[in-house]
Every structure is written in structure tokens, then in C-alpha cells.
Structure 1
Amino acid sequence: MTEAATILRTGRKFDQVLRGARDVFMADGFEGASVDDIARAAGVSKATLYSYFPDKRLLFMEVAQTECCLMADRISSMIDETRPARDVLHFTASNVIAFLVSDFAQQVFRICVAEKERFPELARAFYEAGPENGKLRISEYLEKAVAQGELEIDDIPMAAEQFSELCKTRLWNRAVFGVQSVFSNEEIDEVAGHVTEMFMARYGSKT
């Protein structure tokens, strides 16, 4: 992110710009999203839009990073670490799966894949804010669960990545390939249950 964008990102119309950009990127993709449409959706002038984000790529990266961080913060704030590890992992898996198959996450993923040759920084920004940030958050919890004796893990970063990949079982592929677009809570909960049981079978404390 440029220094200018960082300085201006707390302006009173900043949230309007992000909301408008999110709606337009969701509807039209990255290439199809025009600055005129984004400014109109945000209810600001093009001059105001450019004062925050002189480049559409910066705006897309901010939208993706903001959404991913909000999701991660929401899950973290709702986790009750006094609960057994199995419960915490099931709750986390359910929320991660729901985000992975959401319209927003799917659209951003498609945009990043489509634009990765021309604009690799888009994909890199989403990776850092999404998968990488998620792995770090999960690692933080796993470290605590290991310290409490609930889990036995030698390589916590690897285990965190395995957990994230398990969350892509069945539903994520169906979403990516357009086989299914609507997912019930029951479907998500079922996969989360399998994720949790497989993870606990490998890393649950044997004592």
C-alpha cells in the first residue's frame, strides 16, 4: 500500500469507498469494474476516490484484506478458549468453511487467479490477508491447546495448514467449479465435524 493511501485511509468517506468498491467488484469482477461505477456506488466523486486510491489494484487489495481481516477477527473474538479443543476446532472449521464458500471469497479467488499473471500483487495480497493470516490465527490457538495438554503437535505451522486444507473438503471444490452455489448450515456443519474428528484423531492428546 502506498504511503498516500495509508495516510488517507481513515478519512470520513473511506468506508463508503470500500463498500462501493466491494459491491462493484462482486458484480463485475476486477477487469469489468470501472472507476466511474465504483465512485457512483460509493456516493463519492472520482476525485475523492482517487485521493484514497490512485490505482484500482490498491483498492481491490484493500477490499480483500479488510474483508479477510474482519472475518478472522470475528472468529477469534467468538472463540471460547475455555471450551474443549474439539469444540473450538469444530466452531472454527464451521466459520472457515462458510467463508470459503461465500460469494465474496469465491469472487476474490476467481479474480486473483484470472489476474495473477498481469497483477501478481493482487493474489499475493489476498494470500497474505486470507490463507496466511488464517494459518497464523489457527497456530496461535494450537499453541495454547498444546500447552494445556489437549493436543500433541510437533510442527504447529504445518498442522495449522493441514486444518485449513481440511476445511476445503467437498464444498470448496463444488463452489470453485460452479457445481453448487448455495450451501446449507447442515452441509457446512457436517464437513466441519469430519474436519474436527480427523484433526483430533491425528493430534488429540493420547494421555
Structure 2
Amino acid sequence: MQTPTPRQAAKRQSILQVATDMFLAEGYSGVSVDGIIAKIGGSKRTLYAYFGGKEGLFAAIIEQLCAENVSPLTHMSLAQKPLKEALTTIARVFLDVVLSPRTLALHRLIVSEALRAPEAAKSFFEAAPATAYSCLADYFTWAEEARLIIPGNPQTRAKIFLDALTGDLQLRCLLGLSPCPGKAAREHLISETTAIFINGLSTDRH
């Protein structure tokens, strides 16, 4: 494949940016190629040349948004941190990711299109939830070897901890039933959840 020129790359990115906002606001069915072109200018031929059509554009958008979501998690290091510090660190990053307005909008979009576009749903899950589960499971494996925590299944523990943070909170935010909690409320939730986990896992308490 021929390497795009800087001008072509910039044009492609501008299409992605405009189309992303449209898909997140209006859903897949509410967006048309004509509507995108009306906003960005140019011709349909350009869009089709870059993405092959609406479906290809949607896939490129999901790929980019998933990369944005996973970035804070992949740049986070829990290696050899004390238990409380490690749990607090990943909890803050995880909540920041899953409760951000952009991620919530993406989540709604993915759910609405999951049956039609299963690969997009898979990409979304692997980007944030699965990456976070894996990162924390790796830490639990190390913590068990270091005898900071009692033996157990690290993958199951990671899922329980992170799912306990979101609980009904994420669903309420997705449905618009309540505003997302501010920093103080999140810190309280993180503190309580972390304390319960430490109480159950720490070797100092067994």
C-alpha cells in the first residue's frame, strides 16, 4: 500500500474527527456519507478512497477510539507497588476511562451496533475492560508470589475488584439516570472498595 502524503493523512484524520463526533452523537443509523461530506466538504470519492464507505469509516473510528481508551491503561505501571497503592492507582485510571463522556458515548454506540458489528464490540471490550483485567491480574500474580496476598485466582480477583468499582454506577451514567460522580465521590468509592479487598486478601490479616 502506498504511503499517504502528509496532506492525505491530514485529510483522512479530519474526516475521522468529524465523523467520530457525528457517530457518537447520532448513532450509526443517524449518520450518512452525504451528511459527513456536507460537513467536511470535498467529494464522496475521497471518503470512499480512504475508507471504502460508511462501514469502513465506522470500523476506523472504533479502532481509533479504542486506542484512545486503552492508552492510559497501557502506560500505567503497577509493578512491585504496595497493595493499597496499586489498587488505588488502577482504580483511578479505570474509572477515569470508563466514565469519561467520550467513552460513555462510545459504549452506547457499541451496544446499539453490537449485533450488526460484532468485531467492533470485541475491539471495544478488549481495549478497556480486558486490558484493565489483564493488567491487574498480572499484578495480583506478582503480589501472591511476593506473599503480599493469599493464594487465589488472579483473573477472577481482577474482575471482581474492577467490576465492584463500576457496579450500577456505569449503567446509571450510560442511561443518563444520574450524572457521573465527581472526584470526591470517586475517591470515596475507591477507598471503600480498596479497603474491603485489602481486608480480604492481605496476608497480614490471615
Structures share a fold, TM > 0.5?
yes
Residue in structure 1 matched with residue 26 of structure 2 by the alignment:
28
Compute the displacement of 1:85 (Å): 2.1
Is 1:172 aligned to residue 146 of structure 2?
no
Residues 56, 142 of structure 1: CA spacing in aligned structure 2 closer, same or farther, 3 A cutoff? farther
Distance, in Å, in 2 between the alignment partners of 1:109 and 1:122 is 11
User: Match for 1:191: what amino acid?
Assistant: L
Compute the displacement of 1:136 (Å): 2.0
Question: Match of 1:67, SS?
Answer: helix
Residue in structure 1 matched with residue 190 of structure 2 by the alignment:
192
Compute the displacement of 1:86 (Å): 1.0
Match of 1:201 among 195, 199, 202: 199
Residues 51, 192 of structure 1: CA spacing in aligned structure 2 closer, same or farther, 3 A cutoff? farther
Residue in structure 2 matched with residue 92 of structure 1 by the alignment:
90
Compute the displacement of 1:93 (Å): 0.8
Compute the displacement of 1:170 (Å): 4.3
Any idea what the Cα deviations from partners look like across 1:150-189, whole Å, max 9, x if unmatched?
2334211212221221121342132022112343111222
Distance, in Å, in 1 between the alignment partners of 2:57 and 2:78 is 34
Compute the displacement of 1:192 (Å): 1.6
Distance, in Å, in 2 between the alignment partners of 1:59 and 1:138 is 33
Higher alpha-carbon deviation: 176-185 or 59-68: 59-68
Question: Match of 1:12, SS?
Answer: helix
Distance, in Å, in 1 between the alignment partners of 2:56 and 2:201 is 40
Higher alpha-carbon deviation: 134-143 or 158-167: 134-143
Compute the displacement of 1:201 (Å): 2.5
Instruction: Verify the 8 A CA contact 2:73 2:132 in the aligned structure 1.
Output: no
Match of 1:133 among 127, 131, 134: 131
Residues 80, 156 of structure 1: CA spacing in aligned structure 2 closer, same or farther, 3 A cutoff? closer
Compute the displacement of 1:40 (Å): 5.6
Match of 1:46 among 44, 47, 50: 44
User: Which structure has the bigger radius of gyration?
Assistant: 2
Of all paired residues, the percent bearing the same amino acid is 24
Distance, in Å, in 2 between the alignment partners of 1:58 and 1:143 is 39
Residues 44, 205 of structure 1: CA spacing in aligned structure 2 closer, same or farther, 3 A cutoff? farther
Residue in structure 2 matched with residue 83 of structure 1 by the alignment:
81
Match of 1:110 among 108, 111, 120: 108
Residues 157, 80 of structure 1: CA spacing in aligned structure 2 closer, same or farther, 3 A cutoff? closer
Distance, in Å, in 1 between the alignment partners of 2:157 and 2:134 is 11
1:5-20 equivalence runs, <5 A: 12-13=9-10, 14-20=12-18
* Superposed CA RMSD: 2.9
Please, which runs of 5 or more residues in structure 2 have no aligned partner?
none
Instruction: Verify the 8 A CA contact 1:153 1:159 in the aligned structure 2.
Output: no
Any idea what the Cα deviations from partners look like across 1:13-58, whole Å, max 9, x if unmatched?
3433332232112221222122244456567653333233224344
Distance, in Å, in 1 between the alignment partners of 2:42 and 2:79 is 43
Question: Match of 1:31, SS?
Answer: coil
Length, aligned pairs only: 201
Compute the displacement of 1:80 (Å): 5.5
Please give the TM-score of this superposition, normalised by the length of structure 2: 0.79
